[in-house]
Amino acid sequence: MKSLFLRLLVSLWLAMALLVGLFAVIHGWAFSAEPNALRRRLSTRSVELRAESALACARDGLAGCERSLAPLDPRDQRVAVYRSGALVSGEPVEGAAGIEERARRSGDGIAVEVGERELVAVVLRRDPSLAAVATGPVRSPWVFFLMPETLPQRLLAIIGVTGLVAVLLARYLSRPIRILRGATQRMASGDLSVRVSRQLAGADGETLALGRDMDRMAERIAELLETQRRLLRDVSHELRSPLARLNIALELVRRRSPPDVEPAFDRIERETERLNGMIGELLTLSRLESGRGMERTERVDLTALVEQLVEDAAFEAEQQGCSVELGARDACSLDGNGELLRRAIENVVRNAVRFTEPGTAVRVDLECAGGLAEVRVRDRGPGVPEGALVDIFKPFYRVDDHRARGAGGTGIGLAITQRAVLLHGGEVEASNADGGGLVVALRLPAVVEG
């Protein structure tokens, strides 16, 4: 039982049930079979009234007067009226003479004898020469709790009331935990705007303080991330101008230099182009992380877009001794930013071409059904360790640093893919394929035609 709500519910319910049982034990101990004088007077009053009723009925000459002296059920007492040991009314009671004598000698006119059966004698106050003698089964001190006639109803009442109280208490005590858990899940998914202190209004002081601390933590993390993005964006912008001037200076120096240094200039040019491309990807990533890019949307023909990307990637794949082929191809379109979608799919395809084995083919499939478009890209490369399938979408993450650098990647492409797909309301998933290779699936909400 891992649920806090169920633990609280069962604990409170058992506690209340045990409390009811304890009350029953206290009742049984306090109301023993030998009562005190006041309780004896109260409990024997009905015997006295039944006897007086039967005598009054007989004086009026009515029939059936002794019916009030007969027991109502097997647990009730049978009453008889005696005068100095002689039966006046009712059926004879064994031991009546002795119990009557004890009642007359007692201070309150009552005598009780408990054996196999309970024997009670009460001197009538209206006519002290008469005494009512009652006999019946011994009354259990538990009779209040265990009367068969009302036991089911009382048990249901106990279960219902304690259960209702337990449910309300459990919900009240577990509600702050549910709120905090939901907030942490939203924060883990990237929503740092979540605040919980208002939702915890009315909670205990410790929980409310925890909620305030969590709000401050979310605000601080949001500030740090925004500072990081701003720094990344500003640095990327500032690097663009020096790189442009460096390219101009490179061309000027190239023209005045002897041919034997040309390879060095080519190497410098390639590195500056690579650095310029990385800066461009950093700016794109910063823009996507800030939620921009979806200000303008259009109807995008996803089928035509995938076909064009496969055609372009096939030319690049030929240079590496592999190929790119288009498998399943459904007619599909969606509303979004065409350039972002192109970048997202192109990054995955080019990444697959980069790592697939020579002589193999990268397969691209496009399926559209039920309002969902899925683009699957499979390579024939070494795959990715299971523990890194989620991490490959983080900026600058490398499964194998040496291999990734040798392949020419920047470590930003898949991060751009994930954020672009998330902005379109979709999701990205990577998995290792049977037989080797990596499968990256991009799922996007499609437009249902017709």
Higher pLDDT, residue 158 or 426: 426
Q: How many CB atoms lie within 10 A of CB 206?
A: 9
Q: Phi/psi at 379 (nearest 5 deg)?
A: -110, 175
User: Could you give the 3-state DSSP secondary structure of residue 414?
Assistant: helix
Give pLDDT, residue 440. 93
**pLDDT mean over 187-209:** 79
Q: How many CB atoms lie within 10 A of CB 198?
A: 8
Give pLDDT, residue 443. 92
Q: For the chain, what are the domain ranges?
A: 33-140, 192-292, 298-445
Give CA–CA dist 372/436, Å, rounded.
27
DSSP characters for 229-282?
HHHHHHHHHHHHHHHHHHHHHHHHHHHTS-GGGHHHHHHHHHHHHHHHHHHHHH
Q: Is the pLDDT of residue 219 over 90?
A: no
**Residues near 448 by beta carbon (within 8 Å), at least 6 away in sequence:** 371
Partners of 111 in beta bridges: 121
Q: What tokens were used for 279? A: 């800066």
Give CA–CA dist 322/357, Å, rounded.
7
The two most distant CA atoms of the chain are separated, in Å, by 150
**Residues near 143 by beta carbon (within 8 Å), at least 6 away in sequence:** none
Cα–Cα–Cα angle for 312, 316, 320, rounded to 5 degrees: 155
Q: Kindly name the residue from 27, 237, 402, 424 that is annotated as catalytic.
A: 237
Look at 86-90, 251-255, 368-372 and tell me which has the smallest mean pLDDT.
251-255
Q: Which of 163, 203, 146, 150 is nearest to 179 (CA)?
A: 203
- The separation between CA 261 and the C-alpha centre of its own chain, rounded to angstroms, equals 68
27 tagged catalytic? no
Give pLDDT, residue 386. 85
Give pLDDT, residue 319. 83
What is the model's pTM? Answer: 0.49
Q: How many CB atoms lie within 10 A of CB 132?
A: 30
pLDDT averaged over every residue in the chain:
79
Cα–Cα–Cα angle for 138, 142, 147, rounded to 5 degrees: 90
Give pLDDT, residue 402. 40
Q: Which of 81, 136, 87, 129 is nearest to 113 (CA)?
A: 136
Q: How confident is the model at residue 401 (pLDDT cuts 50, 70, 90)?
A: very low
Instruction: Domain 298-445: give its CATH code.
Output: 3.30.565.10
Q: From residue 410, give the alpha-carbon distance in Å to each of 181, 187, 401.
A: 36, 28, 11
Instruction: Domain 192-292: give its CATH code.
Output: 1.10.287.130
Q: Determine if residue 359 is left, alpha or beta; phi over 0 gives left, psi from -120 to 50 gives alpha, anything else beta.
A: left
Q: From residue 299, give the alpha-carbon distance in Å to each of 205, 347, 349, 430, 446.
A: 53, 21, 22, 27, 10
Tens digits of residue pLDDT in 249-292: 777 777 778 877 778 877 877 777 777 767 767 667 666 666 66
Give CA–CA dist 191/204, Å, rounded.
26
Asked if 249 and 269 count as a contact pair (C-beta separation under 8 A), the reply is: no
Give CA–CA dist 331/425, Å, rounded.
20
Order of all β-strands in the sheet with 372-378:
323-329, 361-369, 372-378, 438-445, 427-432
Q: How many CB atoms lie within 10 A of CB 126?
A: 10
